[in-house]
Chains A and B, each alone.
Chain A
Amino acid sequence: MGKGLQTEPLPPRSETLGDQKGFGVRTVGIWGHLAFLVWAIVLGVLAAEARLVFVLGFVVAFSALFFRGSLRPIRRLEFWVLVASAVLLSPFLIGEKDLSLFGLSLSRQGFWAGLWMALRALSIALAVGGFAYAVSVDEMARLFEMAGLKGLGFAVGVAVNMLPTLEETARNAYQAMRLRGGFRQDRLQGLRMLLVTIVVNALRRGDEVVEAAEARAFRPDGPRRESLPLGRTDLILIAVLMALGAGLLAWP
């Protein structure tokens, strides 16, 4: 087992913890980011059809303005394959077939449903990615702490922060195995090794988080910390989001 796949080198600790993502120059506070996430999810679910284009446009604009790094996934081909497959498969699976194209029976209703689904998915995925990118574990834990859920808050904070990193390490492990021909002979054995490598990498990353948390004197049963401040920028953003949301929903 130990002679198998080597685990990849770990990135600097700050990347893992998400504590150093330009917070010194961050213009929007935690409440602003939280409001933006809630706004994107609510509008992503409630906004219908063409209005989703505006929701997505605003999410992209906000992300580009305040946390450009969170837009990295849109540079990846797999991301677009996933989005395109939703649009391309829906005409075959949803609605009555009322169109024939190159000998294929398709549904117009399915195409539009797939397109709106893809836009909805894009908006929410980018907003969640942005939130995970911009908000630190500590801030997320404090949010739950304020709701009275201390241990859970910390765990959820770490989990949300780890999502992008885990995705990346899983992809790297898969690529490393594929390049070494890990799946050529015994596919099942290769898959087992890949899963073990992913879990081992994740646990090592977890160990780093434990060290960092302990170095900062974090204790699950420690004293309550001060609440998170609500800045003027947050208030302005919340007002803008509410007005924009109401406008989009009321738009005939």
Chain B
Amino acid sequence: MKTRFTTRDLVYIAVFGALWGVLEITLGSYLHLIFPPLTTPLVGVGTIMTAMGMVVALIGRLFVPKTGSVLMIGVVVAILKALSIGGVKLPAMLGIIIESLLAELGLILARRPSRGGFMLAGCLAVLWTFFHKFFASYVFLGRGIYDVYLGVLKEGSKALGIGMGYAVLIIVAFLLIRIVAGGLAGWLAWDLGRAVQARLVQAERNAE
């Protein structure tokens, strides 16, 4: 397989993959353990972990400014996830890859690296956590999409304290939370990434 990434690019992809992987393997596994899905209906652990992962992956994009780098970071994390506590989790691995793909799409749409582009990428990636529930339940558990939809409405109505009749409001709340989380992740990634770049430049200057 011909690769267009240099050795440095690949190592940086590994570094950011490992950083996201450490978060998934330690914090992610722990949060999944202490917060089962039913205790956190509106903001699941998946949403939190995806937002955190996106912060790391998008910082990585600043250091490997090539199309496909975020996807590669995602693939590395998915493989590391296979080695995490609880064994191979195919739905989670697939989720990570799809989220990275969507983030990559956001970055392509934004054309050049910018805070706005990072926020768009973060939003698209974190939004997937809502649809992943439908996708994973259908593909891996064979549950009908309508059943999952009813379950989501039930969880949402309980969390918001409103009737299931307000379906649109409940779905909007689910999506809005994810859009805000993703936007925040992109904003943070840009901010932290620039701070890291500044620190490295200053360290280089000091060394000279």
Contacts and interface: CB of A to CB of B under 8 A. Distances in A.
A198 interface: yes
A210 B11 contact: yes
B19 A166 contact: yes
Contacts of B8: 210
Contacts of A209: 11, 14
B18 A163 contact: yes
27 contacts: A7-B203, A44-B87, A82-B30, A86-B33, A89-B33, A120-B85, A121-B86, A124-B87, A149-B1, A154-B14, A155-B17, A155-B72, A155-B76, A158-B18, A159-B76, A160-B80, A163-B21, A167-B22, A192-B191, A199-B59, A200-B199, A200-B203, A203-B63, A206-B15, A209-B11, A210-B8, A220-B5
Which of B10, B33, B83, B84 neighbours the largest number of chain A CB atoms within 10 Å of its CB? B10
Interface in B37-83: 39, 59, 63, 72, 75-76, 79-80, 83
Given A160-B83, A203-B200, A221 B3 contact: yes
Contacts of A157: 14
Contact of B192 (A86, A128, A159, A199): A199
A125 B7 contact: no
A214 interface: yes
Interface of B: 1-3, 5-8, 10-15, 17-19, 21-22, 25-26, 29-30, 33-34, 36, 39, 59, 63, 72, 75-76, 79-80, 83-88, 191-192, 195-196, 198-200, 202-203, 206
Contact of B10 (A41, A89, A158, A167): A158
Interface string A137-172: 000000000001111101111111011001100100
B87 A206 contact: no
